[in-house]
Amino acid sequence: MEVITTTIIIIILLRIEHRMSKKNILITGCAGFIGYHLTKYLAKNSNNHIIGIDNMFTGSIDNLKELKKLDNFEFIRHDVIFPIYIEVDEIYHLASPASPIYYQQTPIKTVKTNLLGTLNMLGLAKRMKCKILFTSTSEVYGNPNQHPQKEEYFGNVNPIGKRACYDEGKRIAETLMMDYKRQHNVKIKIVRIFNTYGPNMSYDDGRVVSNFIVQALRNNPISIYGDGNQTRSFCYIDDMIDGISAMMDTDLIITGPINLGNNQEISVVTLAEKIRSIIGSESEIIYKPLPEDDPVRRKPDLTLAANLLKWSPNIEIENGLKRTINYFKEIIC
Ligand code: NAD
Ligand code: UDP
Ligand code: UDP
């Protein structure tokens, strides 16, 4: 009996010791599209122990099932609007719905997630004296009057429109990040992410790339909002993960904000035609009303990321779309 008890104690101590020798990395929003890829990428290093937090609002059960297979991943179902006291060495704070249909469905929650969630993560980073990276968005530029958008541009945001819960939520979160740096010297990093796409987006997420691919694969009508002449610049997920990790890992003390994305600008109608042609789909194109405050043009100026992080995107849209289409073929056909 004594031998068994001693053995159990030794095993527990060894496990604690093993865990403590690792780098504990917190990823909020781990079950979402970017969180899933970031977790998989960071988990490749067996010295990392990943703690993933998600409230599963837009997170995917399938993504989570995959992550739970990883030896060095631990999941906590938690809502970041509430405080959490854990031990971590580094924080990637991603938790927030990102698709307009979802962030507008529960707008007050979207504000709370970005305001209170970011406050709590900053409190945690301050207590742990660790680095925190926040995924902001190109939406902080609103419907931009400057093109392409540089980080120094303050933006053109409607503070009372339907997109404001997200745009202003991200803007106040950036403010909090900067104030925790100025007042408490927290090691902060802000990246402004432009439209990103790839495998493991939810098929019903509502964003343009997943909508068009799923519609085209099913030979259903492709729904263009407005006249389709509005532009976006789409970044493939692998490039985005490289950019995010370059920002976290740079030796230089760079707080950002830094734009991350792809600067190959295309119109929504061209995107629809590309997707239809790659798939060889017979879908017709139909036009629906343009959502309120939908930005007319969007393209990042990536000079700062190239100079400071030595990072630029590599994956052309055709190549990225083919990879994404292959993923959706497997899950919906
Ligand atoms: P996503 O919706 O796929 O993932 C977000 C995750 O956060 C989901 O798993 C969701 O359940 C979780 N979440 C939401 N509210 C939460 C809360 N209160 N507590 C805990 N978890 C919560 O979105 P994504 O595309 O992976 O985006 C991740 C981050 O990147 C977001 O902060 C988003 O604003 C930012 N971003 C993404 C894009 C893009 O094109 N994908 C562009 C700009 C910015
Ligand atoms: N917080 C947290 N985890 C921590 C430390 C703080 O969730 O490990 C929360 C805390 O509850 C507070 C917020 O983060 O709501 C900001 O914390 P900070 O210490 O900066 O502010 P204070 O508690 O002094 O208002
Ligand atoms: N859009 C579209 N059809 C769709 C979904 C989106 O035409 O089925 C348009 C949308 O109005 C916007 C662009 O595609 O102009 C990108 O939308 P998304 O929701 O992906 O991201 P946003 O950049 O608006 O946050």
11: pLDDT strictly greater than 60: no
Ligand 3 center to residue 207 CA distance, Å? 6
Q: 102 in a domain, yes or no?
A: yes
23: pLDDT strictly greater than 80: yes
Mean pLDDT of 143-153: 97
What pLDDT is attached to residue 317?
Answer: 97
Ligand 3 center to residue 194 CA distance, Å? 12
Q: State whether the beta carbon of 173 lies less than 6 angstroms from ligand 1.
A: no
Q: Which atom of ligand 3 is nearest to the CA of 137?
A: 25
What pLDDT is attached to residue 16?
Answer: 56
Q: State whether the beta carbon of 238 lies less than 6 angstroms from ligand 3.
A: no
What pLDDT is attached to residue 252?
Answer: 76
Q: Give the model's confidence band at 149: pLDDT under 50 very low, under 70 low, under 90 confident, else very high.
A: very high
What pLDDT is attached to residue 12?
Answer: 58
In this structure, the residue with its CA closest to atom 17 of ligand 2 is 123
Question: Any idea what the CATH number is for the domain that residue 140 is in?
Answer: 3.40.50.720
Q: Give the model's confidence band at 21: pLDDT under 50 very low, under 70 low, under 90 confident, else very high.
A: confident
10: pLDDT strictly greater than 90: no
Q: 192 in a domain, yes or no?
A: yes
19: pLDDT strictly greater than 90: no
Q: State whether the beta carbon of 31 lies less than 6 angstroms from ligand 1.
A: yes
What pLDDT is attached to residue 98?
Answer: 96
Ligand 3 center to residue 208 CA distance, Å? 5
Distance in angstroms between the alpha carbons of the first and the last residue of the chain: 56
> What does the pLDDT look like over 184-224, one tens digit per residue?
999 999 999 999 999 999 999 999 999 999 999 999 999 99
Asked about 166 being catalytic, the answer comes back as yes
Q: 38 in a domain, yes or no?
A: yes
Q: Which atom of ligand 1 is nearest to the CA of 195?
A: 40
Mean pLDDT of 273-295: 96
Domain count of the chain? Answer: 1
Q: State whether the beta carbon of 320 lies less than 6 angstroms from ligand 1.
A: no
Q: 93 in a domain, yes or no?
A: yes
Q: Which atom of ligand 1 is nearest to the CA of 136?
A: 44
pTM of the model: 0.95
> What does the pLDDT look like over 259-270, one tens digit per residue?
999 999 999 999
Q: State whether the beta carbon of 118 lies less than 6 angstroms from ligand 2.
A: no
Q: Which atom of ligand 3 is nearest to the CA of 206?
A: 5
Kindly report the average pLDDT of the chain as a whole number: 95
Q: State whether the beta carbon of 105 lies less than 6 angstroms from ligand 3.
A: no
Give backbone dihedrals phi and psi of 74, rounded to 5 degrees, phi first.
Answer: -130, 130
What pLDDT is attached to residue 15?
Answer: 56
Q: Give the residue among 176, 165, 156 at the shortest CA–CA distance from 107.
A: 165
Pocket test for ligand 3, best of 110, 136, 208 (most atoms within 8 A of CB): 208
Q: 292 in a domain, yes or no?
A: no
Q: State whether the beta carbon of 168 lies less than 6 angstroms from ligand 1.
A: no
In this structure, the residue with its CA closest to atom 13 of ligand 3 is 208
Q: 47 in a domain, yes or no?
A: yes
Q: 45 in a domain, yes or no?
A: yes
Residue 5, amino acid? T
The single residue of 92, 103, 166, 180 carrying the catalytic annotation is 166
Strand partners for 49: 24
Q: Which atom of ligand 3 is nearest to the CA of 100?
A: 19
Reported in sequence order, the residue ranges of the chain that DSSP labels E, i.e. its strands, are: 23-28, 48-54, 73-77, 90-93, 131-137, 188-193, 196-197, 222-225, 231-233, 235-236, 258-260, 265-267, 285-288
In terms of Cβ atoms closer than 10 Å to its own Cβ (0-12, 13-18, 19+), residue 54 is: buried
Q: What b/e readout covers 28-48, taking b as 16+ CB neighbours within 10 angstroms?
A: bbbbbbbbbbbbbbbbeeeeb
Q: 216 in a domain, yes or no?
A: no
Q: Give the model's confidence band at 105: pLDDT under 50 very low, under 70 low, under 90 confident, else very high.
A: very high
* Ligand number, closest to the Cα atom of 119: 2
What pLDDT is attached to residue 139?
Answer: 97
What pLDDT is attached to residue 278?
Answer: 97
Strand partners for 134: 93, 190
What pLDDT is attached to residue 251?
Answer: 80
Q: State whether the beta carbon of 129 lies less than 6 angstroms from ligand 2.
A: no
What pLDDT is attached to residue 286?
Answer: 97
Q: Give the model's confidence band at 305: pLDDT under 50 very low, under 70 low, under 90 confident, else very high.
A: very high
Ligand 1 center to residue 136 CA distance, Å? 10
Mean pLDDT of 130-142: 98
Which range marks the domain in which residue 107 is found? Answer: 18-197+237-263+299-314
> What does the pLDDT look like over 50-88, one tens digit per residue?
999 999 999 999 999 999 999 999 999 999 999 999 999
What pLDDT is attached to residue 199?
Answer: 98
